[in-house]
Structure 1
Amino acid sequence: MAYIRLFEHLFKGLDLQALNQGPEFVYVLADKTVETGQDVTLSCEANTSDVTVKWEKAGHRLQCVEGKHRVEKNGKRFSLEIKNAKQDDEANYTITVENSSGSASCSAMITVELGEWRILEKEQEPMITALKKFKINNEDVRELRFLLHGPVGAGKSSIINTLKSIFEGHQFINCLAANSDTTSGTSFTTKYEKYSIGSLPFVFYDVMGLEGDEEKQARGVRTDDIINAFKGHIPDNYKFREDIPMIEEHRDYIISPAINNKIHCLVSVIPADRLSMMSEEVLKKMRDIRAEASKLGIPQLVFMTRVDRVCELTNEDLRKIYQSKKIREKITMCSNKLGVTENCIFPVKNYHNEIRSNEELNCLALQAFTQIVYSANDFVKKWSSIQKVVE
């Protein structure tokens, strides 16, 4: 009887079954998503407390920092707390528990959401009202002209349709646009066509999409035609030829274009979901076009389309687009590939399968549109000042 009491005393509180087998998890770590600056805790529970514990971050032993990490073991429960989460805390974390009978591991992903890194206007009406009241700062310019260019299928025509839908109060589809899922690789636009935005003093010009340079510019719009377009040498409704450029000897060539014939802002259109797959030939064409525009002082901005296809957060809620790491990464990638500063790149979503107005989509488009309007107006205002000095 005394021996029984002795054994009860020695093994009181111990899990005898756990002594004969390796540790197992009763509850495993769970993935966590937090905003920048928040604290986050990962916790789990094993079937025994008689273990040693090791934490890893992204496959490497976690180097705990005082005031940043706190590791706790409370009986069979284990936890890791991370204070003031930052982007470099985002990783896959693994806990391994081990005793003489074996070991067990489980992992969880900590995702750190960005704070709002750019402000999105929440209401469309103030922007619509401001644009309807807008006055051009050059009496010789009747309308501000924007030229859209980019690869085939980027959504150039859809941008025009989206803006016309906003200002004309109904879904506008008269600017013919190819199916955004097309893989034909052939441009849907063939003419240098002018599109007005309601009764506003703003017009867009759409051109054929840029294609690969496999046959010495034998496919897609020619870069020299685009350059002639923003110099004002190409007339409305000119039909592009893939094999023959517009030259000065052409009967429709505008020899001495006025400021009102010129393009006042060059808008590059880039599909976010295809950015990494764009050929170097197309990117070089776009850089060459931008370089020529820079020589003429023409402002250049980028509309990055199809953003909902690269980010689930954005697809579910457009209002969170400027909290998305994926969108931020795409903007940085676009900046590096085209040589455009990030504050000149605007993510947008065009109307595609929607049949009703969407205010979040409209706000995103209007914010980008407002920026190109002011950029174009600054250009014609500067031109007016130069002309006065010459006179």
Structure 2
Amino acid sequence: MGGKKSKHPEPLPDKPWREINWNDKQRDLQYVKKYKPHIEDRQLRILLHGLSGAGKSSFINSVKSVLEGRICAVALVDNNFQNCFTKKYTTYKFEKRNRSTCYPFVFNDIMGLSKDKGVLVDDIKLALMGRVRDGYRFNPERNLSEGDQYYNTEVNPNDEVHVLVCVIPADKVSLINGEVTRKILEIRKAATELDIPQVAVITRIDQACPEIKDDLKNVYKSVYLKEKLEQFSADVGIPMNCIFPVKNYSKEINLNDDVDSLILNTLRHIIDFGDEFFNHKMSQSEGSYRYD
């Protein structure tokens, strides 16, 4: 009998399908550290949603780890794809080194999506509009409604979501069922109606492709990963240039430059999308003022 065939036998191409400068870590880090919204006292709110166990909380921890220069675990994590570990609407701020100020962006973590249980789409729609207060405990049977103590009746611009991030594990893309896809599409439609930019973060890339597990720098040479991203892009409509593969910190006890580079490159693009949204909203407001 012949030997067992490799899961991904295709040889890696010499030319990557997307360019990234692996030496740009410090430049991207300084960009993130120096970022300030054009509008004074504004805060960029980034909402993460996606499958249960996809790595939303791990991505938050990974971002904080890169910014802090050490492994951090501010958001509790569970790798069980069957259970929704995150139960409450939680805002995560990132303190700067002097601890007296915070970065002008925050992440919101929510309960994961699933076929039968998980977060309700209507709750995500309310979060996009800034209607959900911190600490709200998601109920898969009933959505938040006006009059509830966690329903935000007075919304200021910092409560609203400015970037929507869909988090999907690379090794589970083929297993996403039609109902979850429908929910993602419905969430995307609601965000689009609010002009909120949308990106996807693809996690667990090292678990999906052995060539990437061997060397993270193969991420943009992997034909297999590119096919998975193209499949996801076709299913939910997020353009390929708005989809970013990352490896979250999970088993590591020390930072790794290649992991940092992908995290920072992704974070920089998310910030840029949010900044464009700020500028678009500001120009709309100024235009309305002139017409009045």
Contact 2:114 2:180 in 1 (8 A): yes
Give the superposition deviation at 1:326: 1.0
Maintained 8 Å contact 1:209/1:221: yes
Match of 1:195 among 92, 111, 114: 92
What SS does structure 2 have at the residue aligned with 1:327? Answer: helix
1:209 aligns with 2:107: no
**What is the correspondence of 1:255-274 to structure 2 with a 5 Å cutoff?**
255-274=153-172
Query: Is residue 294 from structure 1 mapped to residue 180 from structure 2 by the alignment?
Result: no
One-letter amino acid matched to 2:39: N
**Structure-2 residue corresponding to 1:164:** 64
Q: State the 1:282 CA deviation.
A: 1.0
Q: Report how far residue 128 of structure 1 moved.
A: 0.6
**Cα shift readout 1:143-193 (whole Å, capped 9, x = no counterpart):** 2110000011100000000000011121111210103xx25x111101110
SS at match of 1:127: helix
Stretches of structure 1 lacking an aligned partner (at least 5 in a row): 1-108, 214-218
Structure-2 change in CA distance of 1:114 and 1:246 (3 Å): farther
CA distance in 2 between partners of 1:349 and 1:110 (Å) = 22
Once residues 92 and 169 of structure 2 are traced to their aligned partners in structure 1, the CA distance between those partners, rounded to angstroms, is 21
Larger Rg: 1
Among 342, 354, 374, which residue is 2:272 paired with?
374
Q: What is the correspondence of 1:274-285 to structure 2 with a 5 Å cutoff?
A: 274-285=172-183
Task: Return the offset for 1:317.
Answer: 0.8
**Within 5 A, what are the aligned runs for 1:1-391?**
111=11, 113=13, 115-123=15-23, 124-139=25-40, 141=42, 143-179=43-79, 182-183=80-81, 185-198=82-95, 199-213=102-116, 219-391=117-289
Distance 1:211 1:312 in 2: 27
Q: Percent identity?
A: 37
Alpha carbons of structure 1 residues 330 and 387: separation in structure 2 relative to 1, 3 Å: same
Measure how far apart 1:381 and its partner are: 1.4
The answer to which structure has the higher strand fraction is 1
Contact 1:140–1:259 at 8 Å: present in 2 too? Answer: no
Query: How many angstroms does 1:115 deviate by?
Result: 1.2
Q: Distance in 2 between matches of 1:110 and 1:318?
A: 17
Gaps of 5+ in 2: 1-8, 96-101
8 Å contact kept, 1:121–1:367: no
Q: Offset of 1:363 from its aligned partner?
A: 0.3
Shift of 1:196: 1.3
CA contact (8 A) 1:116 1:322 kept: yes
Per the alignment, in what secondary structure is the counterpart of residue 158 of structure 2? helix
Q: Give the C-alpha shift of residue 230 in structure 1.
A: 0.9
| Inter-partner Cα distance in structure 1 for 2:164 and 2:67 | 22
What TM-score do the two structures reach when normalised by structure 2? 0.90
C-alpha displacement at 1:112, in angstroms? 5.8
Deviation at 1:252, TM superposition (A): 3.1
Is the 2:12–2:221 contact (alpha carbons within 8 Å) kept by the matching residues of 1?
no
Q: 2: distance between equivalents of 1:387 and 1:110?
A: 52
Q: Note the aligned Cα RMSD (angstroms).
A: 1.5
